[in-house]
Amino acid sequence: MRLEAYVRTDTGPVRENNEDNFLVDEDGGLFVVADGMGGHAAGEVASRVAVDTIRELLEEGPSPEETRLDRSVQDPADELRERLRYAMNQASYRIRKEAQANPQYSGMGTTLCVLLVEADQAHLAHVGDSRVYLIRDGQIFRLTRDHTVVQQEIDAGRLTPEMARQVPHRNYLTQSVGYHGPVEPDTSTRPLLPGDVFLLCSDGLTDPLDDQAIAGICERTDLADLAETLVHEALKAGGEDNVTVVVVGVRG
């Protein structure tokens, strides 16, 4: 399978800094979005450390043997997900270290979502509320479950997804890389099909646009224009946050 990727990021109309970071490596099959948080530009630092750590450990990295938490893992897909978990925890550790060394960065953290393609499989890992979607056969599937308070309330039946989009605490995370020490990423593996399109995005996209709106834009937009169009539509819909979209198309 051949991958064709596009990325677009925008600071948005309100903020001074873009605290989102990303990685797009078509040859390595590695794609990352991180949405940092913390005052005094600390969010930028947190998301950059996270992206750099993922790149280092999964690309230039030490041996797979070293980069996993559970050494009893045998299955290759299990092993890759273990490496993703390890790399995200290592990112968390490095961000905390940076914050301890620089008091102005105290309390910084970041979301982190990673797509790693190997052979004909997609491995995903995420912490926080940056999301991964799959568009397949004209349908959109959300592959990640937000680590947010409102997602817990939706799961418990106390909020509907529609209500959750309106409440003031909708962005409160239940875990983030760096701010929380050890993290427990959700991970998954799924087979790729030619024509699949993956979207990795920060909440600057999904706050102003719901899944249906995103699906509609995907349906009528060419792959090469999709990242730019989604960012444009998010800002047009009133988005004020930093917004980042990575689009990965799978060719046969």
146 vs 241 by CB, closer to Ca ion: 241
In the structure encoding, which two tokens stand for residue 130, read together? 């940056």
18 vs 53 by CB, closer to Ca ion: 18
Q: How far is the CB of 37 from Ca ion (least distance, A)?
A: 7
Rounded Cα distance, 14 and 128, in Å: 22
Q: How far is the CB of 115 from Ca ion (least distance, A)?
A: 19
Q: How far is the CB of 105 from Ca ion (least distance, A)?
A: 18
82 vs 203 by CB, closer to Ca ion: 203
CA angle 188, 191, 193 (to 5 degrees): 135
Enumerate residues 6+ apart whose C-beta is below 8 A from 68.
79, 82, 83, 85, 86
Q: How far is the CB of 65 from Ca ion (least distance, A)?
A: 36
Q: What angle in degrees, to the nearest 10, is found between the helix axes of 42-55 and 76-101?
A: 150
Query: Around Cβ 213, how many Cβ atoms within 10 Å?
Result: 16
Rounded Cα distance, 119 and 204, in Å: 31
* 212: three-class secondary structure by DSSP: helix
* 78: three-class secondary structure by DSSP: helix
Contacting residues toward Ca ion, per CB under 5 A? 35, 202-203, 241
Q: How far is the CB of 43 from Ca ion (least distance, A)?
A: 8
Q: Measured over all CA atoms, what is the biggest interatomic distance in the chain, rounded to whole angstroms? A: 50
44 vs 203 by CB, closer to Ca ion: 203
67 vs 148 by CB, closer to Ca ion: 148
